Amino acid sequence: MLLVLLLISSGCVVNIPGCGKRTLPFFKKASESLPSAPKSDMASPLPLTQPASTAKPASTPMASIHPSQGQMEISMAPESTAPKTVPPTATPTAVPEMEEFAYTLLENQKPALWTMNCDGSNPTRVSPAGASCYYPLWSPNGKSLAYLSDQGDSGKVNLFVIQKGDKKAVQLTSFDDLALPEASTLKAPLCWSPKSDKIAFIYHKQVWEVDIQTLSASSLYTPSDPSFSISHIDWAPYRENKSIAFFVQKGVQSFALWLVNPRLLDKLQLAEIPYPAQDLSWSSDARQVAYLFNSDEIYTASSETSIPQPMILNASPQLGPLIRFSPDEGNPSALLLLAKKDLSEKDYRVALVDKKSKDSTDAGSLKYLTEPGVTDALWAPDGKKIGYLQDGNLWVMNLDGSNKTEISIAGVQYPDWSRK
């Protein structure tokens, strides 16, 4: 028996009766049978195992790998019966994008461009000292801010754009006679494309377009009569519907609502308006355009039908020069406006269309959300809140008029609310 064990341990070839010749393997030490550590391409590889020893080490090596640094650290910790854990490696946290207000403030009788967070924090002047800025307007993607300013070398008003969080402006046009609209106009005489890559604006009684990357500008629409003028421009919010809506003023009391397709240059007249037109707005689904005229009537028009439909007819004794469809695609018919409850009120309130007119004899109804004193109003980017200027202060509230919060008392003018 002793001889057989010696033969087995030596790995010799033996002749076993009934089985023939067999080679018996050597027995190896347990430490020698473990697979070797994988090769590493690090300059100084560290062993992941240590040779077996009869004595326990005073400490056990623990390896932690830092993905952000691409290297391995070995630390020595006393042995413990508790599970060993390695704290996670800290990684830089990206600063979250914020919704912001852009607005103007009078500085030495000149409107300067400012931005701030929607809770009123971090007010920042964007425009250079001494420059006048007008009608800031955020792009649909919330990354760019367009405005009119005389901050260029020529000192003439032109179209500029900056990126959110930046103060370096890019001048998009170089005109010597770009005119500003009347002071009573609350909306900018320009509008962004749905892709945030182009801006349409009014120049020389025409509708123009400029690409913010190439800076190439071209005319999209010229009235048939040189005495006609263009006002109140708005680009359809859907990419599939690339039409720009605008008013053509033919005289003091005669207006027309037109559409132009920037790519195909197709033109379409939607409505004749026998009274002074004051504002227009696309619905969020781009199915219709609402327009305000005669200070008390709002109609909607669509390229699908040639007959305008009444929305509000004398529901208020006087409507302000502002209407805005909600940007919420789930609520495309919600319309924000300024209105008076009765003629004794000197100023407007924020109101929503509560019930639309069904025909020419139905006035419809409004839901008033504020007290008088409102001079401007706008939707939050998601359509869930409303911002407004009252007695010179900027406020935000819910759609039912609740939770009114004062954001700023700094004399904000022409506020616009960006997406994140």
In angstroms, rounded to a whole number, what is the distance separating the alpha carbons of residues 213 and 216? Answer: 8
Burial per residue of 248-281, b for 16 or more beta-carbon CB atoms within 10 angstroms, e otherwise: bbbeeeebbbbbbebeeeeeeebbebeebbbbbb
Pick the closest to residue 143 from 177, 184, 88, 98 (CA basis): 98
User: What does the pLDDT look like over 275-303, one tens digit per residue?
Assistant: 999 999 999 999 999 999 999 999 999 98
- Between β-strands 59-66 and 20-23, what pairing exists: parallel, antiparallel or unpaired? unpaired
Mean pLDDT over 28-48 rounds to 37
pLDDT value of residue 203: 96
Task: Give me the residue label for tokens 């020389």.
Answer: 204
Mean pLDDT over 27-42 rounds to 38
* pLDDT surpasses 60 at 63: no
Note whether residue 13 is domain-resident: no
Mean pLDDT is lowest, of 58-62, 124-128, 254-258, for 58-62
Tell me if residue 46 falls in helix, strand or coil. Answer: coil
User: What does the pLDDT look like over 381-390, one tens digit per residue?
Assistant: 999 999 999 9
Note whether residue 22 is domain-resident: no
Tell me if residue 124 falls in helix, strand or coil. Answer: strand
pLDDT value of residue 242: 83
* pLDDT surpasses 80 at 252: yes
Rounded to the nearest integer, the mean pLDDT of the chain is 82
Task: Give me the residue label for tokens 């406020």.
Answer: 395
Query: 340 is in which domain, residue-wise?
Result: 103-417
Task: Give me the residue label for tokens 């904000």.
Answer: 412
In angstroms, rounded to a whole number, what is the distance separating the alpha carbons of residues 408 and 103? Answer: 11
Q: Where are the alpha helices (DSSP H) in 229-349?
A: none
User: What does the pLDDT look like over 256-281, one tens digit per residue?
Assistant: 999 999 988 999 999 999 999 999 99
The DSSP H or E segment spanning 206 is strand 206-211
Split into its structural domains, the chain has a count of: 1
Residue type, 71: Q
Task: Give me the residue label for tokens 């195992």.
Answer: 49
Cβ atoms of residues 356 and 363 within 8 Å: no
In angstroms, rounded to a whole number, what is the distance separating the alpha carbons of residues 322 and 147? Answer: 19
Note whether residue 52 is domain-resident: no
Mean pLDDT over 337-346 rounds to 95
Q: Which residue has the higher pLDDT, 60 or 360?
A: 360
Q: Which residue has the higher pLDDT, 239 or 87?
A: 239
Note whether residue 18 is domain-resident: no
Tell me if residue 382 falls in helix, strand or coil. Answer: coil
Mean pLDDT is lowest, of 40-44, 340-344, 349-353, for 40-44
**Band of pLDDT at residue 95, cut at 50, 70 and 90:** very low
pLDDT value of residue 167: 83
Q: Which residue has the higher pLDDT, 95 or 402?
A: 402
* pLDDT surpasses 60 at 25: no
Question: Any idea what the Cα angle at residue 394 is, between residues 132 and 311, rounded to 5°?
Answer: 100
Note whether residue 90 is domain-resident: no
Note whether residue 327 is domain-resident: yes
pLDDT value of residue 166: 87
Note whether residue 340 is domain-resident: yes
Cβ atoms of residues 415 and 387 within 8 Å: yes
* pLDDT surpasses 70 at 8: no
Note whether residue 67 is domain-resident: no
CATH of residue 345's domain is 2.120.10.30
pLDDT value of residue 97: 67
